[in-house]
A and B are shown apart, each in its own frame.
Chain A
Amino acid sequence: MDLGSINPVLLLASLMVAATPILIAALGELVAERAGVLNLGVEGMMITGAICGFAAAVNTGSPLVGFIAAALGGAGLSLLFAFLTQIALANQVASGLALTLFGLGLSALLGQGYQGIKPPPTGKLDIPLLGDIPGLGPVLFGHDIMVYFGLGLCAAVWGMLKYTRAGLILRAVGENHDAAHALGYKVVRVRILAILFGGACAGLGGAYISLIRVPQWTEGMTAGAGWIALALVVFASWKAGRVLLGAWLFGGVTVLQLNLQAAGSALPVEYLSMSPYLITILVLVIMSADKPRAPASLGRIFHASQ
């Protein structure tokens, strides 16, 4: 084995890139679930965001416009889910699954003609002095802007849920929508906003894959990342900090196992291959020994008449 061929600085940089899409998508789903909405359509919203962002970035030449379009695309698709579950009072599990199927089909349709095209490159954050610090510089300051956006979003979601009035209302709606309603909070409105936020985040996560991580459009390219994000929210016990940890673990072990394989590790490939799932689940399950529970109203339908 030749571990010397693994460059830790490059490895950490790749880790960030691998973790960012699931981090952003999972944070969106976290907010939706804390408001009591179980949206299983993350995969569909991600892939829709991936193509919306890709198409917009290619047509305008601006990755920023691409990411905005991706957020709008994801949010647009989630609006359908919001209508079904909040207005038409449809079952959330079924609607979410339908949303994923719909998103996969819709993205394949929208993506006609975008295969084999290169998106405009997203610039890296190059801070002149800080980026030059040996070792630390490239690890901390050498990434694309979306990596920092993901970290900032994580802090913002955590702070919002914990310290703000808006976060308190959101949690109240998710824990007991009847009580929240009795207190005069607009349960449906809060939930629709949370769903839209979740959709926008999923869209951004998808666009991160199509614009930065792979840079290209291919049908079905999210290949299950949405489901990973969904699982991560549960294993992270609906806490923003643990979502970040889980995303890093998953992304990190994924990249690490590929690097270990390339370096000719003595560990059997089968174990390396399943290690991202095993290690992430194991760590988060051990951490959730404090018996967390899901938001009490998660997945339940609310109507003001009841």
Chain B
Amino acid sequence: MTLLKKLATAAVALGLASSAMAQDTTKVGFIYVGPVGDGGWTYEHEQGRLALEEHFGDKVETVFQESVPEGADAERAITQMALNGADLIFTTSFGFMEPTLAVAKKFPDVKFEHATGFKTLPNVSTYSARFYEGRAVQGHIAGKMTESNIIGYIASFPIPEVIRGINSAYIHAKKVNPDVEFKIIWAYTWFDPAKEADAATALIEQGADVILQHTDSTAPQAAAEKAGDVITFGQASDMGEYAPLPRVSSIIDNWAPYYIERTQAVMDGTWESEQTWDGIGPGMVGIGEITDAVPADVKTEALALKEAMAKGEYHPFTGPLKKQDGSDWLAEGEVADDGTLLGMDFYVEGISGEIPN
């Protein structure tokens, strides 16, 4: 009897020990839309994952799956990760929104973080960066530097995040150059280097001498370099290998601090569903070095603009602004609220063309 008791106690102790050991490491999963070597969007998320591993050492175990298509297959990939014991899963593309919510309902104990989305659950947070602040800087430089007054824009999907970027860049290009015109191509892909290069080439052939991109690979940079006399901006990552020309600056996503903070919250048991949307100020959005190809005065103005946004003195969407159809949006001095920005589905006045549905 005593022996049995002892055995039972030992078993319970063992069980406790093993569960305690399991709690020691937090398993964090990442779902990527492109390959980790895309040189842009997914690359920066991967850098965040590596920083997370370095910060916590043995206390975290990270797993990732790359090139997960947006859609039904994403649900399978996320489910698999949850089944394999992940405590926290970051799904890093807009198109993973519905799959993330669907899986989150089935795994209430697992925490989910969806990038760039707007729907939450008690165990689903969203996080995104105010990329449009970086777009304002790009628009300023683009408007100043274009000689043909035609700026080409490679857009991915017609979602609010992309539309915000177009509007922000346009507003600030127009401000410094009233003759500026935007030509926009919807590539309907986040990652397809050949198509991105073709889109850049088409824009350049139609007279664009500045290319802005909202797709993930460095292909447009290569196409611009091949064409010559065209400037570009790094997207999501510095893309510094194309500096000083064609890449004259960049928007850099910095996810590492956020990933570390949220993983810490899961470890401490303080994780709660939140909607995080940080910009240049908190450091989630960085502006890559502005190269010497940009005239010194333009560079100074661009940096001043960046500084004003970082301090919160200036908001890229400040009135007076009208919508594309001519109706009033923001009155003089009025600043856009986050709700409108998060659901943005209209162009500002002056941009031609329609947003696809």
Chain A residues in contact with chain B, CB under 8 A?
5-7, 10-11, 14, 18, 21, 108, 111-112, 115-118, 121, 209, 213-216, 218-225, 254-255, 258-259, 261-264, 268-270, 273
Partner of A223, one of B194, B205, B242: B194
Bound Cα distance A108, B36 (Å): 10
How far is it, in angstroms, between the C-alpha of A18 and the C-alpha of B39 when the chains are bound? Answer: 23
Tell me whether B356 and A269 are in contact (CB under 8 A): yes
A14 contacts B202, CB within 8 Å?
yes
Given A14-B201, A118-B222; A259-B206 close (CB under 8 Å)? yes
Task: Find out whether the CB atom of B241 lies under 8 angstroms from the CB atom of A262.
Answer: no
Closest to B153 in A: A262
Q: Assess whether A18 is in contact with B36, with CB atoms less than 8 Å apart.
A: no
**Would A262 and B198 be within 8 Å (CB), given that A115-B39, A219-B36 are in contact?**
no
User: In the complex, are the beta carbons of B185 and A221 less than 8 A apart?
Assistant: no
In whole Å, how far is B186's beta carbon from the nearest beta carbon of chain A? 5
Q: How far is the CA of A182 from the CA of B192 in the complex (A)?
A: 48
A203 CB to nearest chain B CB (Å): 16
**Contact code string B62-82 (vs A, CB < 8 Å = 1, else 0):** 000001000000000000000
**Does B217 count as interface, using CB distance less than 8 angstroms?**
yes
**When the two chains form the complex, which single residue of B67, B188, B221 contacts A273, counting CB atoms closer than 8 Å?**
B188
**B18: Cβ under 8 A from any A Cβ:** no
What's the nearest-Cβ distance from chain A to residue B174, in Å?
17
Check A270–B356 contact: CB distance below 8 A. yes
Choose from B201, B218, B226, B352 the contact partner of A218 (Cβ within 8 Å).
B218
Q: Looking across the interface, which residue of chain B has its beta carbon closest to that of A13? A: B205
22 A-B pairs whose Cβ atoms sit less than 8 Å apart in the complex: A11-B205, A14-B198, A14-B201, A115-B39, A117-B241, A118-B222, A214-B194, A214-B219, A215-B226, A218-B35, A218-B218, A218-B219, A220-B34, A221-B193, A221-B194, A223-B194, A259-B202, A262-B184, A269-B158, A269-B356, A270-B356, A273-B356
Which A residues are in CB contact (< 8 Å) with B178? none
Contacting pair B354 A214 (CB below 8 A): no
- CB pair B353–A264 under 8 Å, yes or no, is yes
Q: Does A254 contact B198, Cβ atoms closer than 8 Å?
A: yes
A270 to B202, CA, bound (A): 18
Q: How many A-B residue pairs have CB under 8 A?
A: 122
Tell me which of B67, B152, B187, B206 contacts A220 (CB under 8 A). B67
Tell me whether A254 and B35 are in contact (CB under 8 A): no
Min Cβ gap B232→A in Å is 13
B225 on the interface (CB 8 Å rule)?
Answer: yes
Q: What distance in Å separates the Cβ of B117 from its nearest Cβ neighbour in chain A? A: 22
**Shortest CB–CB separation between residue B346 and chain A, in angstroms?**
16
The yes or no answer to B195 lying at the interface (CB within 8 A) is yes
- The answer to the question of B321 belonging to the interface, with a C-beta cut-off of 8 Å to chain A, is no
Closest 6 CB pairs of A and B: A116-B241, A219-B35, A219-B37, A269-B356, A223-B192, A258-B202
Contact residues of B between 14 and 47, Cβ < 8 Å to A: 34-39
Q: How far is the CA of A112 from the CA of B35 in the complex (A)?
A: 12
- Contacts A258-B185, A259-B202; is A215 near B222 (CB within 8 Å)? yes
A6 touches B37 (CB 8 A): no
Asked whether B203 is an interface residue with its Cβ less than 8 Å from the other chain, the reply is: yes
Instruction: Quote the shortest CB–CB distance from A144 to chain B (angstroms).
Output: 12
B198 to A221, Cβ gap below 8 A?
no
Partner of B186, one of A112, A209, A263, A269: A269
**For residue B35, which residue of chain A has the nearest CB?**
A219
- Asked if A218 and B183 make an inter-chain contact with CB atoms under 8 angstroms apart, the answer reads no
**B327 CB within 8 Å of chain A:** no
Q: Are B203 and A262 in contact (CB under 8 A)?
A: yes
**A218-B356 CB under 8 A given contacts A116-B39, A223-B192:** no
| CB of A291 to closest CB in B, whole Å | 34
Given A116-B218, A219-B36, A262-B152, verify A213-B194 contact (CB < 8 Å): yes
Residues on A with C-beta less than 8 A from B189 are 223
> Closest approach, in angstroms, between the C-beta of A271 and any C-beta of chain B?
9
Assuming A118-B222, A218-B217, A258-B202, is B39 touching A213 (CB within 8 A)? no
- On whether the beta carbons of B39 and A218 are closer than 8 Å, the reply is yes
The reply to whether A108 and B37 contact each other, CB–CB distance below 8 Å, is yes
- Contact between A261 and B185, CB atoms less than 8 A apart: yes
Central interface residue in B38, B152, B208, by most chain A CB within 10 Å: B38
Q: Is the CB of B186 within 8 A of A273?
A: yes
With known contacts A6-B206, A218-B37, A218-B39, A258–B198 Cβ distance under 8 A: yes
Q: B197 to A263, Cβ gap below 8 A?
A: no
- Cα A294 to Cα B265 with chains together (Å): 60
- Given that A108-B37, A214-B223 are known contacts, is A264 also in contact with B218, CB under 8 Å in the complex? no
Q: Mark B161-191, 1 if CB is under 8 A from A, else 0.
A: 0000000000000000000000111111101
A219 CA / B192 CA spacing, docked (Å): 10
Shortest B271–chain A CB gap in Å is 32
* A264 CB contact (under 8 Å) in B36, B207, B352: B352
What is the bound-complex CA distance between A219 and B35, given in angstroms?
6
Q: Which A residues lie within 8 Å of B39 (CB)?
A: 115-116, 218
From B186, B194, B223, B242, name the one whose CB has the most chain A CB atoms within 10 angstroms: B194
Asked if B210 CB lies within 8 Å of chain A CBs, one says no
What residues of chain B lie closer than 8 Å to A224, measured between beta carbons?
192
B290 at the interface (CB under 8 A from A): no
Task: Out of A219, A221, A262, name the residue touching B206 (CB < 8 Å).
Answer: A262
What is the CA–CA distance of A18 and B198 in the complex, to the nearest angstrom? 8
B356 with A268: CB separation less than 8 A: yes
Given contacts A220-B191, A222-B194, A258-B198, 10 further A-B contacts (CB under 8 A): A6-B205, A11-B205, A214-B193, A215-B222, A215-B226, A216-B219, A223-B191, A259-B202, A262-B206, A263-B206
Residues of B near A18 (CB, < 8 A) are 194, 198
